[in-house]
Amino acid sequence: MIWSIAKKEILENIFSYRFSILTVLLALLMAVAVIVGYGDFLLRLENYEVLRPMPNSPNIIIEPTPMSMFAKGLEANLTRLYEVSILGIEIRQNQQSVNRIFSLFAVPDILFIIKVVLALIAVLFSFDAITHEKEQGTLKLTLSNGIRRSSLVVGKFAGRFVLVFVPFTVLFLLALLTMSLLPSVAVTSSFWWKNLVILLASCVYTLLFTGVGLFVSSIIHRSSTSMVVSLSIWLLFVFIIPNFSTVIAKRLTPVPTSDRIEMETRLNTIQAIYNRIQREKEEPRGMEGVRMIRQLRESTTRITELYRPKMNALMRTTKSLVRISPSGALNVLLTDIANTGLYEEVRAKDAVTQYVERNFNRINELEPGPIELFRYTRASLGEVFSATGYVDVVVILFFATLFIAAAYVRFLIYDPR
C-alpha cells in the first residue's frame, strides 16, 4: 500500500514542471561547481608545485586536497606558504586575497549546493504534499478508501523524498566520476569513502527537509501559506542561524583582531632590534644577535600561547552555536570530512607550530644540522568522526527524526475537511 502511494506521488510529479525545472537547476549548479572547483583546485596545485618543500628548505606548505572541490572551507588558508624567520611563523598572502571579491561572496562548491539548494528543492517538493490534495479535494477521496493514514503519510514522504534524492544521487555520482577521471586528481580509497559519507549525510539532510515541508504541510491548510512557512524555516536553518551565530560567538568569546596581533609582534620585533643595536654600539663583539633572536622567539611564543587558546575557544563556541541549525552542523561536518574545516585548521596549525619548534634553530642557522622536511597528512575519516564529526551526525539525525516524527503524528490527527 505504501509503495503504491509512493508510486502515485512519483508519477504525479515526475512529468511536472516543478520536477524538470528543479532538476535542471540542480544539474546546472553541479556542473558549475565541478568546473569552478576543479579550476580553483588546479590553481592551488600549481602554487604548491612552485613552493613545495625541498630537502633542506624551510618551506612549510600543505598539499591541496581534491576534496576541496566538494567543500572548500578553509582550504585557501590551509594551503598557503608558511615561512619561518627569526620573527617566527609568517604567512604569505593566499592567492585569493588578491581579488577582494572572493571575500564578499560565498563559495559555490558542492557543499553549498547540498546545504542551500538541495534543502530548498526538498522543501519545494514537500510543502504541498498534503495541502495540495486537500485543495484539490482528492484527500477526502483517498481517505474514503479505507487506507490507513500512516501508510498514506509514509508513502507520500517516500515518494517526495525519492523525487528529490534520486536525481541528486545521479548528479552527485556523475560529478564524482568526472572529478575522479580528471587529471591531477589523485584518487585514493579514502576519496571514495569520504564521498560515500558525504552522500549519506546529504541523504539524511534531504530526509530532514522533506520532513520539514511535510510537517508544515500537515499543520497549515493552504499551499501558499505552507510554502511561505516552509521557506522561512529553510531560511532560518540555512542562513540566519549559522551566519548570526558567528556574530554572537564573537561577542561571547572575544578574540584579538588581527591588527592587534600584527602590532604586538611588530613592536616586539622593533624593540628587540633597537635594543640589539644600542647594546652593540657599546659592546660590538658581544652576543647581541643571539640574544635578540632569543628575545624575539620568547615574545612570539608568548603571543602565540596567549592568543591561540582564545582562537580555539572562539572556534568551539562558533561550532556549538552553528550546530543549533542542522545546516550549520552539515557545514561543519562536510568541511571536516573534506579536511578543509575548522578541525583541520587547528590540527594543521599545531603541526606547523611543532615543526617550527623542532627546527627553529636550524632554519635560522643558530645551530648546524639538516632541516627536517615538512610533512603533513590530513586527518582520516575515523579521526574526524571520533574527534568532532559524531556530534554533527547526531544533530542532523536529531532534527531529521524530529520533523519526520512530528509530520507523522500530526497527519494521524489531520482534519481532512
Q: Residue 67 gets which letter from DSSP?
A: G
- Check: CB of residue 326 under 8 Å from CB of residue 401: no
Quick one: which of 38, 69, 72, 91 has its CA closest to 340? 72
Task: Report the residue number, 248 or 394, with the smaller CB distance to other proteins.
Answer: 248
- CB-nearer residue toward other proteins: 13 or 154: 13
Q: Considering the complex, what minimum distance in angstroms separates the CB of residue 391 from other proteins? A: 17
Q: Report in angstroms how near the CB of residue 344 gets to other proteins at its nearest.
A: 10
Comparing CB distances to other proteins, the nearer of 88 and 326 is 88
- Residue indicated by cell numbers 555520482: 173
Judged by beta carbon, residue 79 or residue 408, the one nearer other proteins is 79
Measured from the CB of residue 140, what is the shortest distance to other proteins in angstroms?
19
**Contact (CB, 8 A) for 210 and 161:** yes
Distance of CA 201 to the CA centre of its chain: 12
Q: What is the DSSP letter of 253?
A: S
As a three-state string, the secondary structure of 72-141 is CCCHHHHCCCEEEECCEEEECCCHHHHCHHHHCCCCCCHHHHHHHHHHHHHHHHHCCCCHHHHHHCHHHH
Question: Grid coordinates 590530513 are at which residue?
Answer: 378
Q: How far is the CB of 61 from other proteins (least distance, A)?
A: 9
The DSSP line for 254-270 is ----HHHHHHHHHHHHH
CB-nearer residue toward other proteins: 43 or 366: 43
| Smallest separation, CB 81 to other proteins (Å) | 5
Residue 93 or 145 with smaller CB distance to other proteins: 93
Minimum CB separation of residue 123 from other proteins in Å reads: 10
CB closer to other proteins, 240 vs 381: 240
Torsion, CA 195, CA 184, CA 167, CA 235, rounded to 10: 70
**Closest separation in Å from C-beta 204 to other proteins:** 21
